[in-house]
Structure 1
Amino acid sequence: MSSIADNIGSVTRRIQKATLKAGRSAGSVYLLAVSKTRPADELRTAYSAGQRAFGENYVQEALDKMEELKELDAIEWHFIGPIQSNKTRQIAEAFAWAHSVDRLKIAQRLNDQRPPTLPPLNICLQVNINNEESKSGCALEELIDMADAIEEMPNLSLRGLMAIPDPDQPEAELRSSFRKLANALKHMRQEASGCGPLDTLSMGMSGDLEMAIEEGATWVRVGTALFGPR
């Protein structure tokens, strides 16, 4: 049975190989360890193996882990689950990133509740790239207006886009979904250039990270390949 450290090494090599194959610069793709439902001890093991960025879906679970792991320097917490209005204050106060901002109301609350002593909260707009009724996310045609509005929010830094395409769709359609998100980010850079770095594409998981990297991913969100099945 592979250890978490071995798995991190294996996934890191996959990322490096895919990055070079895509003709992209080494180090341009980051690994986000999806640690939802995993105990703090497993995160500590991953940290000891060099992992620093962890993605959580549930606010209270994440806050409990933050308390357990508070002695770990440079650990970086990313919120990647659906954001409820009554949880925005905790996210704004405790996280470095929120990948799943899907409407302006949530962005405004995160901005207003971000403590002034902290740097701006890095956010991605979550896009419902396949227009699935069961998925959170804004529509592609909403992105420019949302980006323009977020430009006026000083406590947020709009870094880019996130999507969770249906992993069960045919490979060609999955690739098309990744490409569609990458093209949307390019369009945002042209039309809404004043609102943040717009340097981030959060897409790709354990089974499709190579394809996501080929299409421009900068963060791949990997859980099962690191920690095993939940």
Structure 2
Amino acid sequence: MHALLDWERAAIVKLAAEWGEIDRSHRKLAHCGSRLELVYVSESTVLRVLVAEGVHLPERPARERRDKRPFPEWAELVPGVIFIYDFTHFAGLPKWCAIAVLDVVSRKWLATVVSAEETSTQVEVTFTRALVEDGKEYLLDQPLLDELACGVVPDNDERLPVLLAVSDNGPQMTSKATAVFMAGARIAQHFGRPGTPNDQTQVAYCTSSGCGG
């Protein structure tokens, strides 16, 4: 251990001048200094020197607020119309995850699948179980699914849609395979705002706390 040397102080100030606009954080600057082999100091040391030298890092610009998209007019706030789903991970089992489907209005826990994979396949399996649990297995329309898989989208088809599936923008939710399955089961998709986990608060809380039993 040694007292901070003058050249180290100068290196920290120079680092802030050259990288402050990019890193905007004393923590990132400390790692940047090590990566560039300019100065090896702790995060707290960088902060202490910057404060002593009167150096203020640029603040991050405020994130542009995005209004929450309303549900489609046909999606009534009654049980059995709007489902919400999400994946969750386990701290003690890092290679495993669970996907759960809940009814937004009744808060009924419809289905859960635990898997080592996190793909559109798990979405399809879980929603199939959810539809059966909710007495809607008749929506699993194989002829319609085959048409959609071939790129044929029926015009003015009264079969589409019947349910609304709410989720975040994860790749499993936005994939083409998931979109085809959802459309085949007459389920419209509604995605939450990027970087806004509160849009999925209900299912995220339930899957993490195990409130489904």
Q: TM-score range by the shorter chain?
A: under 0.3
Task: Return the index of the structure with the highest Cα Rg.
Answer: 2
How high is the TM-score relative to the length of structure 1?
A: 0.25
How high is the TM-score relative to the length of structure 2?
A: 0.27
Higher relative contact order at CA 8 Å, sep ≥6: structure 1 or structure 2?
A: 1
